[in-house]
Amino acid sequence: MVADAKIIEVDAPTVAVMQTKRQMKYVLVTGGVVSGLGKGVTASSIGVVLKACGLRVTSIKIDPYLNTDAGTMSPFEHGEVFVLDDGGEVDLDLGNYERFLDITLTKENNITTGKIYQSVINKERRGDYLGKTVQVVPHITDAIKNWIESVSSIPVDGKDGPADICVIELGGTVGDIESMPFIEALRQLSFSLGNENFCLVHVSLVPVLGVVGEQKTKPTQHSVRELRALGLTPDLLACRSAQPLREGTKEKLSQFCHVPVSNILNIHDVPNIWHIPLLLWNQNAHEAILKQLNCLSICNAPNFQSWTKMAESYDNLTSSVKIAMVGKYVGLSDSYLSVVKALLHACVACSLRPSVEWVAASDLDDESARLTPQAHATAWETIKSCSCILVPGGFGDRGVPGMILAAKYARENKVPYLGICLGMQISVIEFSRSALGMERANSEEFDPETLYPVVIFMPEGSRTHMGSTMRLGSRRTFFQDLNCISSKLYGNSSFVDERHRHRYEVNPDFVESLESAGLKFVGSDESGKRMEVLELPNHPYYIGVQFHPEFKSRPGKPSALFLGLILAATGKLQAHLDKA
């Protein structure tokens, strides 16, 4: 941040930097030893702790992969693709930031190697470098620094002006070849900003080996040594371990990593991730970070009452509800991370624990009954034991016959059902086949030659390019019937803004036939031709939505449709609607 108002120009994000009296402060979170330590949750939790002190916080996630964004990556490869209001397809950690901090990020808050190199190459092609040899240093590193300083100025909390602190998470593990330009850029940034404007938190693993149970510090020592060799020195260590760190372990880490004992934080295993900000708070992480950033004087005493109540109330819940999650990526739960979190938020609002039963859609179909009868029988036993069924989004035809059977079971047996994106399209296909007698009704995605294309490719979609060619981001849905369940769940609203990510939609040519047979399309876009919400009257809860309500669910602010599903599953929906 600078004292005078001006525009910082980089190739992709260009924002107006508002006049401010304070320099932007940065907290960088890096990871060492192994991946998957929870850097994203740690970064989010640091943000929560700082926000509890009265500071405004924004976040940036750096992903060193060459992809421009996460849009074309398989959920099996990288977990879910999180969608932002502006249509950005980003890393799932930005979902953690939004949920923990209750902020609305932009696609520029996710920096990738692909974006940086693309911006530099575009400038080189335009001749912006005036004939100079374009190199990683200084051109790539300068682009990274400019991007960070520009994006950190974008307000994300609905208020005017930049935030006080920007939390940056560097993806991957220190020492990865692909992250080297980012490490160098961050080293340069920390030097130019000065110690009081830059705080480095290094997340590392402290394993226990053998029956003796000794906590091993050597992996962290090596990780910190490598980080220091690259020009960055940790101010705090966040040590991941199964059990709390012993004092002797902390002292050894302090001695060999040049970090004060008071700045060695322990993030051990907890009952639920809402406890992690409380862990940091109880270890005075906020004081250590604020002292390093020289901003203790502008902070309030941390207020953690509501967060503590939320974390502890979940621990005390005893009753649960079984939810059948019928999908094609069930082998990796991160593939449906936002859906799982939305179910958690809805269940906690109903004083319940979610018991998610993962059902591979391919195990439900007739082919599975022939080839893997045991898996087929187990899958159907699971479906029948659950109180509700959820079919989330996805792409491709694998598992579709099983999803159709699950939707049919829910419809015929009055089991509460929520279909999201693909799940809505599945319900339309199933209803067309069962109620309209269109045995070959299908989506053009699965059968381009179908006689009854009840789901079609979007007219404005691209069939040649995959990235950012779908209907993406926040779009407005208008309710045609204010007496429908969906409108009532949204507070009797006439419209709702939700995030989309799809390239196929219900064929408007079949809407009249489907409605005459009993399926009601209660929500559409402004044109009235793009169907967004369907309901089945005379059913406890059978709703399909083309958008993804899970992306805007927050702790304490559950998604209306997920809340409706859980209420219906426990027989409390009508009472809730009567109160509304």
Known catalytic residues are 421, 548, 550
Distance (Å, rounded) from C-alpha 387 to C-alpha 384? 8
Distance (Å, rounded) from C-alpha 480 to C-alpha 350? 29
Other C-beta atoms lying within 10 Å of the C-beta of residue 490: 23
The answer to whether 342 touches 562, Cβ cutoff 8 Å, is yes
The answer to whether 259 touches 251, Cβ cutoff 8 Å, is no
β-strand partners of 364: none
Q: Tell me the residue type at 287.
A: E
Distance (Å, rounded) from C-alpha 535 to C-alpha 328? 24
Contacts of 400 (CB under 8 A, 6+ apart): 361, 426, 446
Contacts of 498 (CB under 8 A, 6+ apart): 474, 475, 477, 545, 547, 548, 549, 551, 552
The candidate with the shortest Cα–Cα distance to 55, out of 194, 196, 166, is 166
Angle between the 400-412 and 373-385 helix axes, to the nearest 10 degrees?
40
Q: Residue 381: which H helix or E strand, with range?
A: helix 373-385
b/e per residue 179-215 (b: at least 16 CB within 10 A): bebbbbbbbbbbeebeeebbbbbbbbbbbeeeeeeeb
First to last CA, the chain: 45
Distance (Å, rounded) from C-alpha 406 to C-alpha 426? 9
The answer to whether 289 touches 46, Cβ cutoff 8 Å, is yes
